[in-house]
Structure 1
Amino acid sequence: MARLKKAEKIFIVRSLAQFMPISDVVRDIKEKFNVDVSPQQVEYYDPTKAASADLAQEFIDLFNEARKEYIEQPLHNIEGANDIVQLKILSDLLVSKKGNVVMAIKLIDQMQKIVKGHYEKKIEITGKDGGPLQTTTIQATQEQVNEAVRKAQEEY
């Protein structure tokens, strides 16, 4: 088991607070700090796990604060939530998947949906002055219903 410095411990705690999988934290610690840690060692720094029963209060507080910040951050701070970033990623994928016609068509379709605002259109149906829709129940014969349907189809 590797002996971790405080900076490495803080990195682990903050990563776990941001819902990063343990395997990704293990990989990132190796890449950023050149330290080999086991998944069990990383799990120790997650106060939501039983393995962290004797974790220092300092790290528990850091975890809770980091998780709160992460959850409350504005949506525009998340890279993938930005249309330009999404289009750039899709564009890069399109270039790499040019030989795969089916995948290219799907990527182009996805890009068009983003560009045309397909995901932003919201329709809200309300009654008069924003109130609830009014419903009326009437008694009608089958003949009257058929006539109303016929008229509606002609108008459409």
Structure 2
Amino acid sequence: MAALSSEVKAFIVQALACFDTPSQVAEAVKREFSVEVSRQQVESHDPTKRCSKTLAKRWVEMFHDARKRFREETVEIPIANRAYRLRALGRMAEKAENMKNMALTAQLLEQAAKEVGDVYVNRQTKNENPHENLAPTRVQVDVVDARKPDADA
């Protein structure tokens, strides 16, 4: 195991705090610093893992601060915003329709409907009348012949 400089350790800790895998971090360290590190060595800098219980307090605090900032800044990432995703899906659907790719257009429209309908969001609301907001499970269509005079009238 190579001795790592504080700069490399800080890079590793911050990358792990941003949910990068040890393999991704090892590759990034090799690219950035030309230092070869193993996945196990990288993982030893993740305070959420058992193997890093002896990690210095300085690195643990840096990890938790970086993770907190990362989670808070996720809101600022455009693709994390529903309106941004809907606009992008709209542009893609329009382009697919202009290209006469109806299958892709249908998929994009379905994805947009799921976005709006909170299909991927785990939000449960408690309602006093649970049957009030139920979606219809059956639709009945009656065909009436308008040419025949109504016998009741």
TM-score for the superposition, normalised by structure 1? 0.57
Call closer, same or farther: CA 1:134–1:21 in 2, change over 3 Å: closer
Residues 134 and 70 of structure 1: CA distance in aligned 2, closer, same or farther (over 3 Å): closer
Match among 88, 96, 116 for residue 120 of structure 1: 116
Question: In structure 2, what is the equivalent of residue 27 of structure 1?
Answer: 27
Q: CA deviation digits over 1:63-89, x for unaligned, max 9?
A: 111122223x1553235324657949x
Equivalent residues in 2 for 1:141-156, closer than 5 Å:
153=140
Return the alpha-carbon distance in structure 1 between the equivalents of residues 41 and 129 of structure 2.
Answer: 58
User: What corresponds to 2:18 in structure 1?
Assistant: 18
Equivalent residue number for residue 62 of structure 1 = 62
Ranges in structure 1 where 5+ consecutive residues have no aligned partner: 95-100, 136-151
Distance 2:110 2:80 in 1: 14
SS at match of 2:58: helix
- Please identify which structure carries the higher helix content: 1
Q: Once superposed, what is the RMSD of the aligned Cα atoms?
A: 4.0
**Percent identity over the alignment?**
31
Structure 2 contact 18–70 (Cα < 8 Å) conserved = yes
**Structure 2: runs of 5+ lacking an equivalent:** 96-100, 119-123, 132-138, 143-153
